[in-house]
Every structure is written in C-alpha cells, then in structure tokens.
Amino acid sequence: MERIIKEKKKNFKSKKIIISLSILLILLIGFLIFEFILLPKIELKGKKTTIVKYNTKYIEKGYTASYLGKDITKQVKLSGKVNSKKLGTYKITYKINKGILSKKIIRKVIVKDLEKPKIEITKDDVYVCPGSEFVKEKVKAKDNYDGDISNKVKTILSKDKNQVTYQVKDSSGNTTNIIKKIIYKDIEAPKITLEGSEETYISLGVKFNDPGYKAEDNCDGDLTKEVKVEGGVDSNKLGTYQITYSIKDKEGNETKKDRKVIVSNGVIYLTFDDGPNSGTTDVILNILKEEGVKATFFVTNKGPDELIKREYDEGHTVALHTASHDYSIVYASDESYFNDLYSVQDRVKRITGHESKIIRFPGGASNTISRRYSNGIMSRITQEVLNRGFKYYDWNISSGDAGNTTEASGVYNNVVNSLRHDRVNMVLMHDIKPYTRDALRDIIKYGKNNGYRFEKITMDTEMITQRVNN
Ligand code: ZN
C-alpha cells in the first residue's frame, strides 16, 4: 500500500516538471520569435566601444537595420554627438520604431589622449665641464592636450652619472623618456669681447690705445689675462692695421677676433661765421680751450672787440667775413665789396695787430643772391681777391644752423654724418647760434673718437671752393 502511494506521488512530481519545462520552452520560443523575428534588428559596423584620438574627428562606421527580412537601414535615427576636442565618453544612440515595437542600440565613443608629450632637446649629448657636476637645466616640454608642461619634466641622473633621463608624463598618463649621454668634456670655445669698435680710426701721429678686451670660457672662467694680442699700429704711417686677439681654453678650443685700426689723415676745420656774439662766442671759446681744439672765426663788425681779441690770443684764426654782412651793400658793386671787406680787416688789425687775408664770402662763393645787386660780381671778385693776396674758403659740410636746423642734435647730426676720412672736412657753423654752441662739445668728441684731427685755417691751407654761379 505504501509503495503504491509512493509511486503515485512520483508520477505527480514528474508531470509537474514536464509541464514547467514545457511552459519555459514555450516562453523561450516566444521570446526568440519576438526578439529575432518580430522586433526590428540593428547591426553596428565597427566596434560597440570605439576609441577616438583627441582632436581627431569621429567617423561613423555605419550600421544596417532590417525587419522581417527587409532592409530598413534608412529608417534608423541617430542621436548623440562626439566632441573630439574634449576628453570623455560619448554615447551614440541608434533607434528604430516599427509600430509599437522599437529597437535601440548604443555605441560608446571614448575620446582619449593617446599622444606622448614632446621634450624639446636639440643637442645629441650633454657636455659637462671636466671636474664639474652635472647641473640640472630647464628643459621645455609640450603636450598636445596639456600644452606647456615644462614644469613637469623630471631630470633623473644615473648612478654612475654618465647618463641623464628627461621624463615627462601628461595628464592622461602618456610618458616620454629621453635619455642622453653625459660627456665630461669642454667643447665650447671661449668668447672674446672687444671694448670699443671692431673698426676704429686714429688720427695720424696719435698713439693707438687699445680700448680693451675680455675673454671668458664656459669651463675655465675669466681668461682675459691669457689673451694673446698680435699685430701693431704704426700711428705715424697712414694705413690699415690689424690686431688679432686669440685665446685657447684648457681643452684647446680656440677663439680669435680681429680689430681693424685705420691710421687716418681725416681733418676737420671748424669754422664759425657772423660773430662775434656775447653769450655764444665766449662759450664756444671756452669749449675749444677745454678740448684743446683750434678753429677759425669769420668775423663781422658786430659784437664786442674783446671776443675777437680772445679768439686771436687763444690761438684761433681770426678771418674776415665782411663788415656789414648786408648783401645789398656787400654785393652792390665790386668797390662796395672791397670797402666792406677792408673795413672788417681794419677792425681785426686794430684789435689783434695782425692783418688777416683769409676770407669767406657772405653766402659763399656760389651764392646767387648777389645777382640781385650786381650781375657777375662773384666771378669778378673771386678772382680779384686772389689778385689782392687773399685766400677764400667755402665749405663742404654745412651744419645747417643758418637754415632749418634749430636744435643742437640737428647740428650735431648734420656735421658728424657728413664727415669723411678721405678728404678735408670744412665745416660751416655760426657762432651766433645757441644750438651750435650747444652741439659743439659733442661734435669735437665725435671727431676725436673717430680718428679726426682738428685744424685752423692758415694761409697754407688749401682753398675749399664752391662753383661760382654769378
Ligand atoms: Zn655769414
């Protein structure tokens, strides 16, 4: 009896399991039919999770969609965007609707910085002075994403100190290592710096004083005392001389530098017209005395006698411009010119006791203003003054101080920019002008520093003449 009951129970259990399994099977088949036959299908080309390099455009690999065996790719709707300029994970959704049924697939796009930073080192090896320690130096590093990461560069010295590693890691973990050999050797030549100019003029007969030099080596330090100087200057002989400065460091690296010294015959005649004049001529005389320079003054009947006396007593040439400096009188006739000339000659003789025969025509020999008063007068009197034993001097450099130049800097520039070593420089200035007075010291300094000598006009000085135009 008990056995029968047991059997029945067993049968009942088996039936239950079979029913359950059947239901499950039906559900599974139902699900499969639903999923694979009734639901639309989307298939992605490429990977479901895609990595895109930072700053590189994401390109959609594509997809297909079907429903009940029909291609419905065109009905798929995409949403989501990838900003490749910003690191991160982006989602792209592919969706399709078919009646009440819909299907959705997501693709993950990860924008990543995969590029290693760059360390900027140009040299192949690192050289360290023998006997010295390797000193860390700043190295530049740039990253495509982080920008300048120079401050993140690590400098790692090997134990034997024969190798250095520069290492830098960007914020995404990309690491760059640059390994350099350290060589203990001085490969840099010393540097020589010349004081003064590399091409310098000195005046004939003036001793050349070397303006000096310095030598410095990256490893050996100051080597100035060991500089070899070769070549010399014979300042009594015109010409171009070369002085060579050379220096070797302990390693034998050598540097040479040359200086050209030109012994020049360049001469400057400073000439002052229209004076004398209190407040300018006196200061000009002071400057000339302080600088030890002699000049030439073409005077008129104006200004105090004492200044003409001073000009003469202090060794300058007192020369003749004309008494009135009035063009309408001076150039009215040949006779009128000589009357005016002799008038100022008398004044000078009265003050200095010396008869001057050195003259300058008002407006110069080339002036055209005299045409207004006497046609051809310049042609006649430029000849007649010579017949009467005078010498006349025009100029080849104008300071501009009787024209548009009304500042000391302008006077200075006009003069120094026109100076030349290969000729006599006859400079026209006016000692009645305050800006000329103020420019004088610098003009003299420039001349001295550039190998010119200053002279006053004497009867032996060759005439500097302009073309006669009337
Ligand atoms: Zn004048």
Q: What confidence tens digit (pLDDT) does each residue in 12-25 have?
A: 788 889 999 999 99
**Residues near ion ligand 1 (Cβ under 5 Å):** 273-274, 362
Spatial CA neighbour of 55 closest among 134, 172, 161: 172
Q: How confident is the model at residue 2 (pLDDT cuts 50, 70, 90)?
A: low
What is the side-by-side strand order in the sheet with 154-157?
126-128, 175-184, 163-169, 154-157
Q: At what angle do helices 334-352 and 377-387 cross, to 10 degrees?
A: 40
Residue 448 CA to ligand 1 centre (angstroms): 27
- Decide: 331 and 374 in contact? Cβ < 8 Å: yes
Distance 284 CA to ligand 1 centre (A): 17
What is the whole-number distance in angstroms between the Cα of residue 414 and the centre of ligand 1? 18
Dist. CA 245–CA 229, nearest whole Å: 5
Q: Over 70: is that where the pLDDT of 6 sits? A: no
| 35 pLDDT higher than 60 | yes
> Given pLDDT bands bounded at 50, 70 and 90, which one contains residue 39?
confident
In this prediction, residue 155 carries a pLDDT of 94
Non-local CB neighbours of 115 within 8 Å, separated by 6+ positions = 53, 54, 143, 144, 145, 174
From the CA of 290, how far away is ligand 1's center (Å)? Answer: 26
pLDDT in tens, 330-380: 999 999 999 999 999 999 999 999 999 999 999 999 999 999 999 999 999
Sheet with 101-112, edge to edge strand ranges: 49-53, 101-112, 88-98, 77-79
pLDDT category of residue 223 using cuts at 50, 70 and 90: very high
Ligand 1 centroid–CA 314 distance in Å is 22
Tokens 């091409």 — which residue? 199
Q: What pLDDT was estimated at residue 3?
A: 62
Domains and CATH numbers, the chain: 41-112 (2.60.40.10), 118-184 (2.60.40.10), 191-264 (2.60.40.10), 266-455 (3.20.20.370)
pLDDT interval class at 1 (50, 70, 90): low
Residue 298 in contact with residue 308, Cβ under 8 Å? no
Distance 274 CA to ligand 1 centre (A): 5
Q: How far is the CA of 446 from the centre of ligand 1 (A)?
A: 25
Angle at 411 between CA 405 and CA 414, to 5 degrees: 95
In the prediction, which pLDDT does 21 show?
92
Contact assessment for residue 293 and residue 317, using Cβ atoms and an 8 Å cutoff: no
Mean pLDDT of 288-315: 98
Mean of all residue pLDDT scores within the chain: 94
Strand bridging mode 163-169 / 191-194: unpaired
pLDDT at 299 over 60: yes
